[in-house]
Amino acid sequence: MGSVAVIGGGFGGLTAAAELARSGHAVTLFEGSSTLGGKAQVLHSAVTLDTGPTLLTLPEVVRSTFERIGASDLLPAFHRLPLQARYTWAHQPGRTFECFEDLAPTLASAQAFGEARALEHFYAEAEGIYRSAGEPYLEAPLEGLPSFLLRALRRGPASFLSGMQLGTLDALAYRHFRSPELRQFVNRFATYVGASPYQASAAFAMIAHLERAEGVHHVQGGMGALVRALHQALERLGVDLRFGQRARWESRRRELVAGPKGGEEVFDAVVVNADSLADEPLGTRELAMSGYVALLEVDRRLPLAHHHVVFGGDYPREFGELFSGEVPSDPSVYFCHPAATDETMAPAGKSGVLAMVNAPALRSEADALRWPEHAARLRERCLKTLLSLHPALRRAEVKVLGERTPVDLAARGAPGGSIYGFLPHGRLAAFERPPMRSKTPGVFFAGGSTHPGGGVPMVMLSGRFAAQLAQEHLLPLPSRGEGRGEGRTPVEEALR
């Protein structure tokens, strides 16, 4: 057994720390702030609001993680959403598309656009993309594009070729749908990784398949409850938690040291739960999008869906502005209203609402200085859009509890305030994420910017993979298939 430092207490670091401690290693977790969770923070007022991730797919990955670390008793309940999301258009009042867990009402909603059969075909192709490209991508830690391509080829030549010949997500949307509204629905999945649908691979259509097949879920009490459960698990496992310590790592005379400057300690391995691009100067490479968030308390219980997207009028223009470094002039707005599902998130007669607008990552100090002006404009846009959805609602009934900007995200260590860091633009870029294994032996990365990507289950998988790599560094390699579900992928194993 060895000693392991985990730097950063986001979902990836928490998972890696728990997995390694459960395996008998001595684990020290350094967290620079006073709370765990990374971007998954919580605002408590009269209402409770997550300020980071707001939905959960692949819940079995989360459940299996808690099983693996002996903490199933700590796991909060999950609520499966019958209405997964409602989509409306700011400049087309009355136009609505609703996505349900049940395919039949989803197809009925699409038929209002004359697109029911097209949507069925889209979902079939999205599942095919997941089988040919997504499954091999999630099968093992990413050790370079060639190893991923080899795993994809094992699915068979036809599957491999279909997976490797993908165009952009927008091209896929155009191939299936005539209506611009349903194209926007498909294109929105690029925003899950901070990308533009006009430059990101159609591989991201697999997200649509996973939401339909595995459901969209809410964690009872919000994502903050999931963080608290992992915190309890780490304490039970004996992990040494060091709050308020901004740690660094380096190799000194063939020894790995980690910890706050001047207080480094020697470890046998290090897992870094931080963006792998964080040490690069601003402007040296293009980053995934950031976002603006307004946290609202409403003095009435709104008839707002749990997840509601109001699209702006010109999606190509919106992304053109975003990737030119400009805040969009006519942005789409996403609302999360957790009390629609979970009454513990707000008392009777109130609603807590998170409103989010996509924003460009910071490219310079000058960009950061402009954010007070940008925030004022986007705050007004969010409020105006919410009021337009509920004409009886008065402005005086809505209180702004707080807001988050790219500057705030940058202060928490996100490069340029980018939510996902790595920008997956290009045909194969979705499968070319920054490596989990450092060039320094014994150092491994976890988190949304590395393999397999963003979203709570994916980040927890990254922690599992990082722990696996650290284990292999610390101990002799297990026999083929040992501890790996006899060759099953982590996702397949979780969904058994």
Q: How confident is the model at residue 479 (pLDDT cuts 50, 70, 90)?
A: very low
Report the number of distinct structural domains present in the chain: 1
- Report the share of the chain in percent with pLDDT over 90: 76
pLDDT of residue 88: 98
Residue 492 pLDDT level (bands cut at 50, 70, 90): low
For residue 67, being part of any structural domain is answered with no
Whether 9 is covered by a domain: the verdict is yes
Backbone angles phi, psi at 151, to 5 degrees: -65, -40
pLDDT per residue over 268-305, tens digit each? 999 999 876 665 555 556 899 999 999 999 999 999 99
In a domain, 296, yes or no: no
Residue 232 lies in a domain: yes
The pLDDT value recorded for residue 485 is 44
Enclosing domain of residue 483: 3-40+225-276+434-495
Reported as a pLDDT band with limits 50, 70 and 90, residue 308 is very high
What pLDDT is recorded for position 56? 94
Of 159-173, 333-347, 410-424, the range with the highest mean pLDDT is: 333-347
Q: Which of 53-67, 154-168, 260-274, 401-415 has the lowest mean pLDDT?
A: 154-168
CATH number at residue 452: 3.50.50.60
- Give the pLDDT confidence of 355-381 residue by residue, as tens digits: 999 999 999 999 999 999 999 999 999
- Note whether residue 30 is domain-resident: yes
Average pLDDT over residues 384-407: 96
Summarize pLDDT for 402-427 with one digit per residue, the tens: 999 999 999 888 889 999 888 889 87
pLDDT value for 276 = 66
How much is the pLDDT for 451?
75
Any domain includes 112: no
From 6-15, 176-185, 274-283, 300-309, the region with the lowest mean pLDDT: 274-283
Phi first, then psi: what are they for 448, rounded to 5°?
-70, -20
User: Which of 281 and 248 is assigned the larger pLDDT?
Assistant: 248
User: Looking at the domain assignment, is residue 444 inside a domain?
Assistant: yes
Give me the mean pLDDT over the 101-116 stretch: 97
Section 149-158 average pLDDT:
64
- Output the average pLDDT for the chain: 90
Q: Flag whether 209 is in a domain.
A: no
